[in-house]
Amino acid sequence: MSREIRSMRESLPNVLDSYKISKPLFAFILLLFDAILVALIISYVPYTKIDWDAYMSQVEGFLDGERDYTNLKGDTGPLVYPAGFLYVYSIIQFITGGQVYLAQVLFGILYIVNLGIVFFIYLKTDVLPWWALGLLCLSKRLHSIFVLRLFNDCFAMMLLHTSVALLLLEHWYLAMIIFSAAVSIKMNVLLYAPPLFLLMLKGMSIKGVFFALLGAASLQILLGLPFLLFHPIAYISRAFNLGRVFIHFWSVNFKFVPDNVFVSKEFASALLLLHLTLLLVFAHYRWSKHEGGLINLVKSRLSNAVLESSTIQQFFSRKSRFKTPSGEHIVTVMFVGNFIGIVCARSLHYQFYSWYFYSLPFLLWKTPYLTPLRLILFFGIEVCWNIYPSNFYSSMLLLFLHLCILWGLWISPSEYPYVEERTSQGKEE
């Protein structure tokens, strides 16, 4: 009987996999389908006013010449995003004149562009069966975040996905610049920073890592320069405030935690410690397994750097060789690293779903679970994010589903992280 039940569970995925359809063609059809769906949503579903007016107020203050971040405010509170946010929404304000409908059309285009980039990532890694690409178009909450709420998370994640795509194409320096641009719109992108740094150690020389980080930091300084020149403390403290405490009511996760515990420093510190511990454990035992662990990886990279810099001529030589991380390994490390941050985040607001939704099918197919269980986990998470307001049970269920995925990622076999050896010339020019 159990054998028959197992066979029935696997029958649908097997039937779907038996139909051979070109993945790029199917992705293109999905893009067309979703473009039509987005147009229908904009035309017939009422817009939801949340942050748009606040964004426009903050932009107007900036365009009027205000350079003190403490004076840039909206009806939802003070400006808490880095300067890139102001530039992006200033352009949107110029294009749309502040009209919501035109902004929705613009965000609809952004949604399709972002989805196209995500499809590119999935096609380059080839982890999912063709039919599972359709899951990326099935989120009610994601459509709402993009075209009915107009959140800045949408631009930040589009740039982040662009950065991942550039990593797959081995454009490391440009990927870091785009990554920095994404951070300048919203700081949640920093959840990807630890895994990205690890990948840079694997795929670049130490010299290359240094210049890539310098380029990313230089962009942050350049974008923030109008504020850093006149009110640097106000800008840094507001735009890069890592200690913000979110309101318990709006949290989708940890709603089962009492309010006084939720806002406490002890709870925040415990989650931060858990976050860092999980990153180190995954980095050592999973992402650096083939290099003998994280410590051995760092030692080998430092040893290579010492050898390369032993003379001036060798330091500037471009003949050193190192391996190229595979596309699957790049996306695995980036998506899993971010997901660990999601699991340990003290507060997830509804728009934060965009931070990791597009990685869910990839993560689920990296687990050893049967496909029916993967689909249950996927749609279970979607249900949790569409319950408003969130409650004790929905937030507990969401945490349970997250932990199930994290456990599956931990017990899954590690992919070989490299494709072939390359010279540093291709990476650093």
Q: pLDDT tens for residues 349-360?
A: 999 999 999 999
Domain that holds residue 421: 23-428
Q: Which of 85-99, 258-272, 307-321 is least confident?
A: 307-321
Q: Residue 383: which pLDDT band, with cuts at 50, 70 and 90?
A: very high
15 in a domain, yes or no?
no
17 in a domain, yes or no?
no
For the chain, the average pLDDT equals 90
30 in a domain, yes or no?
yes
pLDDT for the residue 428: 40
Domain count, the chain: 1
Question: What share of the chain has pLDDT > 70, as a percent?
Answer: 89
**CA 252 distance to own-chain centroid:** 18
226 in a domain, yes or no?
yes
11 in a domain, yes or no?
no
Range 151-157 average pLDDT: 97
Range 61-75 average pLDDT: 93
242 in a domain, yes or no?
yes
pLDDT exceeds 50 at position 315: no
pTM: 0.91
3 in a domain, yes or no?
no
238 in a domain, yes or no?
yes
